[in-house]
Structure 1
Amino acid sequence: MAVQPSDARRPAQTRPALAGADPELAALVDAEERLQADTLRLIPSENYVSAAVLEASGTVLQNKYSEGYPGKRYYEGQQVIDQVETLAVERAKALFGMDHANVQPYSGSPANLAVYMAFLEPGDTVLGMSLPMGGHLTHGWGVSATGTWFRGVRYGVRRDTGRIDLDEVRDLARAERPKLIFCGGTAVPRVIDFAGFAEIAREVGAVLVADVAHIAGLIAGGAHPSPAPYADVVSTTTHKTLRGPRGAMLLTRAEHARAVDRAVFPGLQGGPHNQTTAAIAVALKEAAGADFAAYAHQVVANARALGEELAARGFDLVSGGTDNHLLLADLTGKGVSGKVAAKALDRAGIVVNYNTVPYDPRKPFDPSGIRIGTPALTSRGIPSSEMGAVAQWIDLVVDAARTGDESTVSKVREEVRTMMDAYPAPGLPLA
C-alpha cells in the first residue's frame, strides 16, 4: 500500500523546484518525512540529522568532481573543495584522537574493503566476529567479498553470558595467525574491550581494526571508551549515532596513512562525494560540542532504562542488557518470531528490525530476535522517563502479533503518534 502524508500535518513546501519538476517523487519524499515524523524509530543504525547537515548535503558541492586528495587532485578548480575536505579531515582527527583521517569512503562496507586492500593479499586470513553472533558482513563472512577473497575465521559470544570471550579470540588468533583482526559489529550490546583485542593482535602480529560504525557517536560524546590508543585503524560510518550523512571515514596511525589512502583512491573509488564531505564536516563540528556529549550519554541512559523495562516484562535480552545504544531481544519465550513481531510493531508505528540472536535455531530471514536502539528517539528529546511507555507498547504489540489482535496494534499506533507529536524530530521541515 502506498504511503501518503497525513492530512493532519503535511510537510512544508520546502522543495518547490522538485515539486514542479517531479511531483510524483516530491510526494514520496513528503510521505517519508511524515513517516519519520510520526513513527517511533528504534532501529539502532537510524537517526535524525540536523537541518544544517541536511543543507550541507544538498549544496552546489554536488557539481564538483575531485579525484585525488587536497593539494594532489587530477582536476583543476579545487580551491574551495580542498578546504572543505581538509576541514572535515582535521575535525575528524581532533574528535577521535587519531593521526590521520580519510573522509572519502562512500559507505562503511567500501571503507572496510579498503582496509583489506591496504594490508592483505587475496587468501590472507582475517579474524572477525561471526555475523549471526553480532558481527558484520565485511568482517570476513562467506557471502561477502571479504569472505570470498580472503580466509575468514570467526569468533562469537559465550552461550552462558552472551558476551565476547577474549580467551576464545586469543586461542583462534594463536591457531590461525590472522593478518587482520576486526573488533566491533552490528548487534553488540556491550562495551568493546579494545585494550584486550590490541593485546591479542600484538601477540600474533596482526593489524587491529576497530569497526565503530554503530558507536562512533558514543565515543565522540564520551559515552563509550575510545579505540584510539589501541587500534591501528578505526573504521566508521558517519551516520548512526554520529548523526551525520550516509558516508564513512577511516582513521589511522601515521604509519598506515599512505596505505589506507591509496586503497581508497585509486584502489577502490574515483571522485569523492563532496556534498557528503561537507555534511560530514558539519556533523563533526556538532559532535565536538557539549550538547552532543549530553545526547550521547542520554542515548545510553535511554537504552539501559528501556532494557530494564523490557526485562521486567519478561523479555530475554542477549547478555542481559546493554552498555551502549542497542538491545537484542530473543522472542522465543514470547511465542513469536522476530520477523512476525517486527512487522506488527511496524504497523503500530514502532520501527525495529528482526535479527538473529546468538546460536539462533531459526533462519536469518525469519530469526528469533528483534534489534532495538535508542539513538533516534534520543535525538527527538525523549527522556528515560518515557521508556516504560515504550516498553509497554512493545510488549502489547509483540503479544498482539502472537494472538492476531490487530485492534491493539491500531490502538498503540495512535498512542505512538501522540507521543511523536509531543517530541518533534529535528531536521524535518514539517508545517
Structure 2
Amino acid sequence: MTTPAHPTHGTTVPTPTPTHPALAAADPELAALVGAEERLQAETLRLIPSENYVSAAVLEASGTVLQNKYSEGYPGRRYYEGQQNIDQVETLAVERAKALFGVDHANVQPYSGSPANLAVYLAFAQPGDTVMGMALPMGGHLTHGWGVSATGTWFRGVQYGVRHEDGLIDFDQVRELALEERPKVIFCGGTALPRTIDFAAFGEIAREAGAVLVADVAHIAGLIAGGAHPSPVPHVDVISTTTHKTLRGPRGAMLMSREEHAKALDKAVFPGLQGGPHNQTTAAIAVALREAAQPSFRSYAHAVVANAKALAEALLARGFDLVSGGTDNHLILMDLTPKEVPGKIAAKALDRAGIVVNYNTVPYDTRKPFDPSGVRIGTPSLTSRGLDVTHMPLVAEWIDRGVAAAGKGDEDALAAVRAEVAELMAAYPAPGLPV
C-alpha cells in the first residue's frame, strides 16, 4: 500500500473487531481493557526498542491448553507423568534454538531475562564473588552486578563504562579492570548500547582474566539470528537472551552455551531457581524460532538496522544529540540536554502525541535516574509493521515536533502529531493485532 509522505489530519482509525468472546462473557471489564490495549497498539507508533509485535501464530501458541500441564524437570526426566507431548514441544524449541544460533546447548525454560541471568550466577559464582558488567547508567542492565539488584547485593559488582568523548566502550579500561579485579563472571551487552558489541575483544579479555564470559543479547538476539549483528558464539561461554524484543517471540528467555557448561546451567535453572516451565510460553518460543529461521526474518533484521540508521541520520539533521553519534543496531539513545527538555517530560509528551518511547539515562548524566536527560528509541516495532527508510524522516519530524511541543506545553501541537501518526498506522496494520 502506498502511503503519502506526509499524511493529512482527520482520518479515523477503524476499531478492531471484538475478539476473545469467552473472556468478554466471563469478565467484560478485563475484556474491555484488552480491547483498549489492542486499539492503543494499533494506533500508536511504538518506538520502545525492547518492544515488538508477535505474530498471530505466537499469540495462539501462548494461549493453548499447554497452560494446563506441569512439567518440572527436562524432556525424558520429568517429575510428573503425562509428558508425551510436552517433551516434544520443549525438544522442538531447544533444537530450533541450537540450529538458529549455532550453539551446542540451549535451555528454553527461564521465565524471563533476569531469572536467566540469575541462573548464570548460580552456575558459576558463589555469594561474595566478584562479577563484572557494564554500569547501568552507561547502558548496562540491572542484573549485571548493579547495586540495587540482587546481583549487586549477593555479589561484589565492578562496572566498566564508555568513553565520555565518543560514547564507546574503552577496552583498555575493561582489560585493566578485569585483570585487577579477576571477576568470576563478565557480562557484555546491555539495554542502551547503540553500537556493535565487540564479542571478540571481550573474549580475549575474559580468557586472560580467567572469567566466564556471558553475552547478554536480549536486545539484539533477533539481529544476530537474522545476520544483522555479529554472533557471540565463537567468543563467549554463555549466551543469555530474552525471546521477545527483536526476536519477536513471547515474554520468555533462553540460555545457550558450549556443551561443557550445559549441566551447570540446566541445574541452575531447575531445580536451582525455578519449578515447572511455562509450557505455553515454550511452545510460543518454538514458533518464534521457526519464524526467525525463515528468509523473510533475515530481511526483517536488516530492515530494522537500516531503519534505525536512517532515523538516526534524520534526527541528527534536526539537531538532536545522539549518544555515540548514531547507531549500528536497532537502538538510538538521545541526549535532550541541548533541546532543554528533560527526558521524562519529552517521553510523556510524545506519548500524548501517539509516539511511545521511554525516558532513559545517558552516559555521565547529571540528572537523576527517574528524571534523566535522555530518551531511548528503537525500530523493531515499526519495522514489523512494514515501515521502511522512506518513512524515517517523517518519524524524525514527529519526534522533533513532539519534543518542541513538550518544551512549550503545546497540547494542540501534540494532538496534531497524534492524528498524523494514527493515519499512518492505519495504513500499516501490526502483526498479530485484530483489524
Is 1:57 aligned with 2:57? no
2:219 alignment partner in structure 1? 214
Matched AA of 2:330: H
Q: 3-state DSSP class of the match of 1:188?
A: coil
Within the candidate set 370, 377, 381, 1:372 is matched to 377
Q: 3-state DSSP class of the match of 1:210?
A: strand
Matched AA of 1:151: R
Quote the Cα distance in structure 2 between the aligned partners of 1:256 and 1:57.
29
Is 1:274 aligned with 2:279? yes
Q: 3-state DSSP class of the match of 2:299?
A: helix
Is 1:18 aligned with 2:23? yes
Matched AA of 2:334: A
Is 1:308 aligned with 2:313? yes
Within the candidate set 161, 164, 182, 2:166 is matched to 161
Within the candidate set 90, 94, 102, 1:97 is matched to 102
Within the candidate set 140, 147, 150, 1:135 is matched to 140
Q: 3-state DSSP class of the match of 1:137?
A: coil
Quote the Cα distance in structure 1 between the aligned partners of 2:17 and 2:119.
41
1:232 alignment partner in structure 2? 237
Quote the Cα distance in structure 2 between the aligned partners of 1:242 and 1:164.
25
Q: Deviations over 1:165-211 (max 9, x none)?
A: 11100000011000100000000000000000000000011000000
Q: Which runs of 5+ in 2 are unaligned?
A: 1-10
Deviation (angstroms), 1:407: 1.1
Is 1:343 aligned with 2:348? yes
TM-score, L = length of structure 2:
0.97
Matched AA of 1:305: A
Q: 3-state DSSP class of the match of 1:139?
A: coil
1:403 alignment partner in structure 2? 408
Matched AA of 2:104: D
1:9 alignment partner in structure 2? 14
Matched AA of 2:399: I
CA contact (8 A) 2:350 2:403 kept: yes
Q: Deviations over 1:137-178 (max 9, x none)?
A: 000000100000000000000001101111100000011000
Q: Deviations over 1:349-407 (max 9, x none)?
A: 00000000000000000000000100000000001000000000000110111111111
Quote the Cα distance in structure 2 between the aligned partners of 1:425 and 1:85.
28
2:7 alignment partner in structure 1? none
CA contact (8 A) 2:14 2:426 kept: no
- RMSD, matched Cα: 0.9
Quote the Cα distance in structure 1 between the aligned partners of 2:285 and 2:166.
37
Q: 3-state DSSP class of the match of 2:254?
A: strand
Deviation (angstroms), 1:427: 0.5
2:339 alignment partner in structure 1? 334
1:244 alignment partner in structure 2? 249
Quote the Cα distance in structure 2 between the aligned partners of 1:104 and 1:411.
45
2:267 alignment partner in structure 1? 262
Is 1:421 aligned with 2:426? yes
Q: 3-state DSSP class of the match of 2:37?
A: helix
Quote the Cα distance in structure 2 between the aligned partners of 1:181 and 1:156.
13
CA contact (8 A) 2:196 2:329 kept: yes
CA contact (8 A) 2:73 2:270 kept: yes
Q: 3-state DSSP class of the match of 1:26?
A: helix
CA contact (8 A) 2:12 2:423 kept: no
Quote the Cα distance in structure 1 between the aligned partners of 2:194 and 2:134.
14
Matched AA of 1:142: G
Q: Give matches, 1:377-388, under 5 Å.
A: 377-388=382-393
Deviation (angstroms), 1:222: 0.2
Quote the Cα distance in structure 1 between the aligned partners of 2:180 and 2:417.
52
Quote the Cα distance in structure 1 between the aligned partners of 2:36 and 2:394.
26
Q: Deviations over 1:43-102 (max 9, x none)?
A: 000000000000000000000000000000000000000000000000000101110000
1:107 alignment partner in structure 2? 112
1:3 alignment partner in structure 2? none
Number of residue equivalences: 425
Matched AA of 2:171: L
2:127 alignment partner in structure 1? 122
Q: 3-state DSSP class of the match of 1:170?
A: helix
Q: 3-state DSSP class of the match of 1:244?
A: coil
Deviation (angstroms), 1:7: 8.5
Structure 1 264/59 Cα, relative in aligned 2: closer, same or farther at 3 Å? Answer: same
Structure 1 15/159 Cα, relative in aligned 2: closer, same or farther at 3 Å? Answer: same
Matched AA of 2:370: F
Q: Deviations over 1:312-356 (max 9, x none)?
A: 000000000000000000000001100000000000000000000
Is 1:42 aligned with 2:42? no
Between the two proteins, what is the percent identity of the paired residues?
79
Deviation (angstroms), 1:8: 5.3
Quote the Cα distance in structure 2 between the aligned partners of 1:8 and 1:164.
44
Deviation (angstroms), 1:14: 2.5
Matched AA of 2:167: G
Deviation (angstroms), 1:13: 2.8
Task: Return structure 1 stretches of 4+ with deviation > 4 angstroms.
Answer: none
CA contact (8 A) 2:185 2:213 kept: yes
